[in-house]
């Protein structure tokens, strides 16, 4: 978050900060975007699978890989979020402030 | 061509079934008061994971996709058709980044549209107006294309002929039915119909993909037939091959940039956002990012049916006697399957057009109501007035799309849809960047948007490679300073972001006001049941 007209409330929410989990999730998702777009790595006919040229079956395979990456990202973020909710429940009585967004 | 009565009867029965469902949908999870945009326009924001899955699936993978992608594969191969597979692969990692934050801030503040989100973040009506107008303009030809999808099916069944009335009457009836139940049931209607549409589509495509290759000699020979066709000299220009079987090095950026640009653009479209915001919890959208790829697999298999049609020797000749690639999938089913099953396939496509058309008209209407009518004409509008305006505008957008289809050439609808995709992509910096940072300056975002819109429109109009005679007919152009052709939308977006970054740095250094932000950091993480989630419509909170 930057300095421009400071947001009304809660300008130091720990969830806003980058955490190791978020960096890992970001990299996992980035791989799911960049690798399927490296067309040069799969623009060929051989090896075939069930008669499908490599170019076609490899991309269909990536449908499953990308879904798996999203599922993994979902689980990782859920763990972080659950941990945050637990800690806040524990500290709810005194303050909403926490040190660091990482676990 | 004579009318295929069996297929037509099946088509009509299926259509009648979903019509009844569409009207019944108003009672589904009925709210006490339908007279608000949250109820009519977002289905009460009540949809769980599976409803959202069907709704988004029915919304994103439109009937037109099911017609156009295999048509492109049949006509010119991989670069114009199969790019939709990597497009729908990278789509989900892309939306995973921002969907959660978008949902949270929208639910925390009672936002209905992307322009609402931009307005909340920057407090700048001109910026949110730019987003709203772009959204409406990009959506109109998209609705028109859904009607083109219905027309393709009706043409293959044999409806039509010389008189304009015979040709257009079925479309008018379909349109009237769609308009009536959208008006009465709002987003609940397409959500309910999506169940039927998606199940039919799955059945049809799985049967086709398993049965047709067995009948036609296996996938190997199908791919060989496609390879032969793509390598043969083009009918229009014998110096170049017909199409692309596997992209050569010079075509790879075109392929990748089309996929990336389309993926980035899709969730800027109002209809995608509307469906995503209607879910009940924050994680619904992200969970769906892991299960929606099932539709991408379906789309990939469907695309390959374009190659199956090459092997089968399908002749997509319209009622006017000319070759029309868009008829290739309906014609393939008509030729290869018994009439009743062809009827089921046609029903699936026609119903598949109704779901996105309904959501698109609702979403465009919401944009008009919230960000033009309420922002400029009637700031004090009540919830009931908003809902009423939206209902009427949703009718008007559909009438506009209908006029578009009936009076203009079909190719124009397609070209304007391509242009719309390029335009909607230019709203990404304003919508998405703000979810993560307040660094970008409102006027820099507006200038970047304008730069991207102007550059993209000018290049799409005149500077395309492999240009057909019509303006806006190609989405590829040489990338300046790069050498290969690429998707114009991505080039324009790069320019857009560059302008936004440079001007933001300048305007921030000059300490020009960056508008009023009524959101707080925790708003971007709010979830159902969180202690800090207040009832919706809390955007009247003080800013300091």
Q: What is the ipTM of this complex?
A: 0.82
Cβ-nearest to A59 among B86, B223, B439: B86
Rg over alpha carbons for chain A, rounded to the nearest Å, is: 21
Cα distance between residue B493 and residue B426, in whole Å: 6
* Contact between A40 and B514 using a beta-carbon 8 Å cutoff: no
CB within 8 Å: B220 and A16: no
Between CA B404 and CA B409, with CA B408 as vertex, the angle to 5 degrees is: 125
Domain map (residue ranges) of chain A: 17-85
Give the pLDDT confidence score for residue B448 in this predicted structure: 93
Lowest mean pLDDT among B49-53, B437-441, B530-534: B530-534
* Lowest pLDDT segment from B127-136, B430-439, B503-512, B521-530: B521-530
Residues of B with CB below 8 A from A37's CB? 86, 90, 256, 259-260
Report pLDDT digits (tens) over B57-96.
Answer: 878 888 778 888 888 888 888 888 888 899 989 998 898 8
- Tell the residue number behind the tokens 């220009």, with chain if given: B237
Hey, is the C-beta of A63 within 8 angstroms of any chain B C-beta? yes
Per residue in B490-502, pLDDT tens?
A: 899 999 999 999 9
Q: Would you call A16 an interface residue with chain B, using a CB distance cutoff of 8 Å?
A: yes
Sign (positive or negative) of CA dihedral B201, B204, B205, B207: positive
Q: Please judge whether B86 and A30 are an interchain contact, meaning their C-beta atoms are less than 8 angstroms apart.
A: no
Q: Structural domain boundaries of chain B?
A: 34-411
Which residues in chain A touch residue B247, judged by CB atoms under 8 angstroms apart?
39, 43
Q: Which residues of B touch A77 (CB under 8 A)?
A: 286
Shortest distance between the Cα of B269 and any Cα of chain A, in A, equals 20
Q: In angstroms, rounded to a whole number, what is the distance separating the alpha carbons of residues B262 and A37?
A: 12
Q: Which CATH superfamily is domain B34-411 in?
A: Sodium/glucose cotransporter (1.20.1730.10)
How far does the CA of residue A2 sit from the closest CA of chain B (Å)?
Answer: 6
Question: Model confidence over B130-188: pLDDT tens digits?
Answer: 999 999 989 888 888 888 888 888 877 777 655 566 667 777 888 888 888 888 888 88
Cβ-contact B52, B289 below 8 angstroms = no
The model scores a pTM over 0.80: yes
- Distances in whole angstroms, Cα of residue B494 to Cα of each of A35, B428, B497, B501: 20, 11, 5, 11
Instruction: Verify whether the Cβ–Cβ distance A8 to B222 is below 8 Å.
Output: no
Q: What is the pLDDT of residue B33?
A: 64
Residues in chain A with CB shorter than 8 Å from the CB of B82 are: 56, 59
A-facing residues of B in 227-246 (CB < 8 A) are 245-246
Interface test with B, best of A1, A2, A3, A4 (most B CBs within 10 A): A4
């Amino acid at each position: 978050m930057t300095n421009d007209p400071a947001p009304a409330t809660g300008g130091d929410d720990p969830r806003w900060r980058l955490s190791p989990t978020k960096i890992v999730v970001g990299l996992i998702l980035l791989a799911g975007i960049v690798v399927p777009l490296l067309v040069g790595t799969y623009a060929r006919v051989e090896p075939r699978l069930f008669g499908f040229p490599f170019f076609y079956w490899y991309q269909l395979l990536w449908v499953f890989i990308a879904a798996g990456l999203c599922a993994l990202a979902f689980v990782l973020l859920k763990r972080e979020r659950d941990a945050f909710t637990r800690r806040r429940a524990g500290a709810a009585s005194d303050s909403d402030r926490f040190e660091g967004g990482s676990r | 061509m004579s009318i295929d009565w069996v297929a037509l009867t099946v088509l009509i029965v299926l259509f009648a079934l979903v019509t009844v469902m569409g009207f019944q949908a108003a009672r589904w999870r009925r709210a006490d008061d339908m007279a608000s945009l949250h109820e009519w326009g977002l289905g009460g924001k009540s949809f769980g994971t599976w409803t959202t899955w069907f709704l988004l699936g029915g919304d994103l993978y439109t009937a037109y996709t099911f017609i156009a992608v295999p048509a492109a594969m049949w006509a010119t191969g991989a670069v114009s058709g199969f790019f939709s597979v990597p497009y729908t692969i990278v789509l989900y990692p892309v939306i995973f980044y921002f969907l959660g934050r978008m949902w949270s801030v929208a639910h925390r503040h009672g936002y209905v549209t992307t322009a609402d989100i931009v307005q909340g973040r920057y407090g700048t009506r001109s910026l949110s107006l730019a987003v709203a107008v772009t959204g409406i303009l990009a959506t109109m030809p998209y609705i028109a294309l859904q009607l083109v999808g219905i027309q393709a099916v009706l043409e293959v069944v044999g409806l039509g002929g010389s008189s304009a009335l015979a040709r257009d009457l079925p479309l008018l009836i379909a349109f009237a039915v769609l308009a009536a139940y959208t008006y009465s049931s709002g987003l609940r209607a397409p959500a309910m119909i999506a169940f039927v549409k998606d199940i039919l589509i799955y059945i049809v495509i799985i049967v086709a993909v398993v049965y047709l290759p067995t009948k036609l000699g296996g996938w190997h020979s199908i791919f060989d037939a496609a390879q032969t066709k793509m390598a043969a000299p083009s009918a229009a220009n014998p110096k170049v091959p017909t199409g692309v079987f596997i992209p050569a090095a010079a075509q790879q950026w075109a392929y990748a940039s089309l996929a990336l640009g389309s993926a980035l653009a899709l969730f800027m479209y109002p209809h995608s956002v509307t469906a995503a915001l209607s879910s009940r919890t924050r994680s619904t959208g992200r969970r769906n990012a892991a299960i929606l790829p099932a539709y991408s697999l379906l789309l990939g298999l469907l695309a390959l049916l374009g190659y199956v049609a090459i092997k089968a020797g399908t002749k997509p000749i319209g009622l006017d006697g000319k070759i029309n690639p868009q008829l290739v999938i309906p014609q393939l089913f008509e030729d290869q399957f018994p009439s009743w099953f062809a009827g089921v396939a046609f029903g699936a496509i026609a119903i598949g057009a109704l779901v996105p058309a309904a959501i698109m008209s609702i979403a465009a209407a919401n944009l008009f109501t919230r960000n033009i009518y309420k922002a400029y004409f009637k700031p004090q509008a009540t919830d009931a007035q908003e809902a009423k305006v939206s209902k009427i505008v949703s009718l008007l957008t559909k009438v506009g799309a209908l006029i578009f289809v009936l009076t203009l050439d079909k190719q124009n609808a397609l070209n304007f849809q391509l242009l719309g995709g390029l335009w909607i992509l230019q709203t990404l910096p304003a919508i998405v960047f703000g979810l993560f940072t307040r660094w970008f300056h409102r006027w820099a975002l507006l200038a970047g948007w304008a730069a991207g819109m102007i550059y993209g429109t000018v290049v799409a109009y005149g500077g395309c490679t492999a240009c057909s005679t019509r303006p806006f007919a190609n989405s590829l152009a040489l990338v300046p300073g790069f050498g290969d052709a690429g998707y114009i939308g991505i080039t324009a977006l790069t320019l857009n972001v560059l302008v936004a970054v440079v001007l933001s740095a300048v305007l921030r250094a000059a300490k020009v006001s960056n508008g009023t932000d009524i959101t707080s950091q925790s708003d971007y993480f709010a979830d159902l049941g969180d202690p800090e989630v207040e009832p919706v419509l809390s955007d009247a909170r003080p800013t300091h």
